[in-house]
């Protein structure tokens, strides 16, 4: 009987872990095989969604695990993307001044553009710049215990500010049009299909790395503290943890992931404009995680890829319907399935397992009763 129970408990946990691992492995294998079946255009599109999935992992870390709702992640995504775009633009301009600068009357390359001539610098900065901005914003707000909706509203204002700033400083940022017209990346032409497929696999590689990294964080002691902060910040504080430090740190990681996503986004899409940093895209990023399932890393990845695939399918056919669809699904998800698709999956799984274990328990109980000679009660 004892052994029986242990077996049941062990198998339940193992099955769940196995199921989650199974889903994510299957997803990664499918993504790895996808370019064999899809056209170049679709592969490119899927590559873009993979970049979004990295961003979604970052949002899940702060929202699903730490309970911080940031509505300004478009900014971090955009900053990473702009860093990469500056490198691509300089490579395309071939040592000359980028075209939009000369249009706006700029004579020399601004000083902060200069480091972006070097690819490694651009790649590192595309992660570092968002992380440093997040460090400043996060430290100032979390230290003063500005939390919950107040933080969300401030991040939303942050995203407006950056859009206005980037649109306004046309000579340095390309204004409303953003930065576009790239030619090559590390010397390879961006338009060729082999570069596109390579970029796709690079993005997928980074997604797998980011996923493993996030899982490592979540399963570590640090991750447990994050969950504690989400569930009861004051209790965590009274237990001797400093939530501000933890929150700032995880906010920086999240921003860094967003920056990485941006850097992978630009060479595949070929343009970055302030519109990508605005409030609407920023909230949409949260929607992916909400629909996929906050608090599970698998959910974030699935949500980002699924919602965006749906979006491109629906808006190709009926552009107007997309707003209704996303609006209604958002209301429905928040009200009826707050833990998203992954949560729904877990609910169903739990139901099946409980039924299964009830059956096994009852048969185990029958055995015990029979062994102890209480047949008359069983009858």
Measured CA to CA in angstroms, residue 264 lies from 85, 206, 278, 311 at distances of 10, 9, 19, 20
What's the rounded Cα separation, in Å, for the pair 111 and 101? 13
Q: Which residue has the tokens 């994510």?
A: 24
168 near other proteins, judged by CB under 8 A: yes
69 near other proteins, judged by CB under 8 A: yes
E strand or H helix at 184, and its extent?
A: strand 184-185
79 near other proteins, judged by CB under 8 A: no
280 near other proteins, judged by CB under 8 A: yes
| Chosen residue from 177, 181, 184, 329 binding other proteins by CB under 8 A | 329
| Chosen residue from 331, 348, 352, 365 binding other proteins by CB under 8 A | 331
How many residues sit in the footprint of other proteins (CB under 8 A)? 45
254 near other proteins, judged by CB under 8 A: no
* In contact, 71 and 279? CB cutoff 8 Å: yes
279 near other proteins, judged by CB under 8 A: yes
| Chosen residue from 10, 110, 148, 205 binding other proteins by CB under 8 A | 148
Give the x/- contact pattern for other proteins in 176-195, rule: CB under 8 A.
Answer: --------------------
DSSP string, 277-325: GSHHHHHHHHHHHHHH-TT-HHHHHHHHHHHHHHHHHHHHH-HHHHHHH
Q: Tell me the closest approach of the beta carbon of residue 36 to other proteins, in angstroms.
A: 36
Q: How many CB atoms lie within 10 A of CB 332?
A: 11
Give the x/- contact pattern for other proteins in 284-323, rule: CB under 8 A.
Answer: --xx--x-----------------------------x--x
User: Which stretch, 25-33, 103-111, 328-336, 360-368, contacts other proteins (CB under 8 A)?
Assistant: 328-336
* In contact, 260 and 210? CB cutoff 8 Å: yes
What's the rounded Cα separation, in Å, for the pair 195 and 267? 10
Q: Tell me the closest approach of the beta carbon of residue 269 to other proteins, in angstroms.
A: 23
| Beta strands, E only, the chain | 179-180, 184-185, 188-189, 271-272
| Chosen residue from 42, 145, 311, 356 binding other proteins by CB under 8 A | 145
Strands 179-180 and 184-185: unpaired
240 near other proteins, judged by CB under 8 A: no
Q: Which residue has the tokens 């707003």?
A: 323
Identify the CA nearest to 128 among candidates 223, 218, 263.
Answer: 263
110 near other proteins, judged by CB under 8 A: no
| Residues engaged in binding other proteins (CB under 8 A) | 67, 69, 137, 140-141, 144-146, 148-150, 152-154, 156-158, 160-161, 164-165, 167-169, 232-234, 279-280, 283, 286-287, 290, 320, 323-324, 326-331, 334-335, 338
């Amino acid at each position: 009987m004892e052994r029986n129970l242990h077996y049941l408990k062990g198998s339940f946990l193992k099955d769940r872990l196995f199921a989650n691992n199974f889903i994510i492995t299957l997803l990664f294998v499918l993504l790895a095989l996808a370019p064999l079946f899809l056209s170049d255009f679709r592969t490119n599109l899927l590559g873009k969604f993979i970049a979004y999935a990295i961003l979604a992992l970052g949002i899940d870390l702060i929202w699903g695990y730490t309970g911080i709702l940031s509505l300004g992640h478009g900014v971090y995504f955009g900053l990473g993307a702009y860093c990469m775009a500056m490198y691509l633009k300089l490579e395309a301009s071939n040592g000359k001044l980028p075209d939009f600068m000369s249009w706006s009357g700029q004579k020399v390359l601004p000083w902060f553009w200069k480091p972006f001539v070097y690819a490694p610098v651009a790649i590192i900065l595309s992660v570092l710049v968002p992380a440093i901005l997040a460090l400043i914003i996060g430290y100032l707000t979390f230290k003063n215990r500005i939390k919950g909706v107040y933080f969300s509203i401030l991040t939303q204002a942050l995203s407006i500010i950056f859009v206005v700033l980037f649109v306004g400083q046309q000579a340095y940022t390309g204004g409303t049009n953003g930065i576009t017209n790239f030619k090559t990346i590390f010397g390879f032409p961006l338009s060729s299909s082999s570069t596109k497929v390579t970029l796709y696999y690079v993005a997928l590689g980074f997604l797998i790395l980011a996923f493993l990294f996030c899982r490592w964080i979540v399963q570590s002691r640090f991750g447990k503290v994050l969950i504690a902060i989400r569930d009861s910040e004051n209790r965590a504080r009274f237990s001797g943890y400093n939530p501000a430090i933890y929150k700032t740190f995880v906010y920086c990681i999240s921003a860094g992931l967003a920056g990485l996503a941006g850097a992978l986004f630009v060479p595949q899409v070929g343009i970055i404009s302030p519109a990508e940093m605005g409030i609407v895209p920023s909230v949409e990023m949260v929607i992916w995680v909400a629909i996929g399932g906050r608090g599970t890393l698998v959910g974030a990845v699935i949500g980002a890829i699924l919602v965006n695939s749906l979006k491109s399918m629906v808006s190709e056919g009926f552009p107007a319907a997309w707003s209704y669809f996303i609006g209604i699904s958002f209301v429905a998800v928040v009200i009826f399935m707050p833990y998203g698709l992954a949560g729904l999956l877990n609910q169903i799984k739990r139901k099946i397992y409980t039924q299964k274990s009830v059956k096994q328990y009852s048969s185990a109980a029958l055995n015990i009763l029979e062994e102890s000679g209480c047949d008359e009660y069983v009858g």
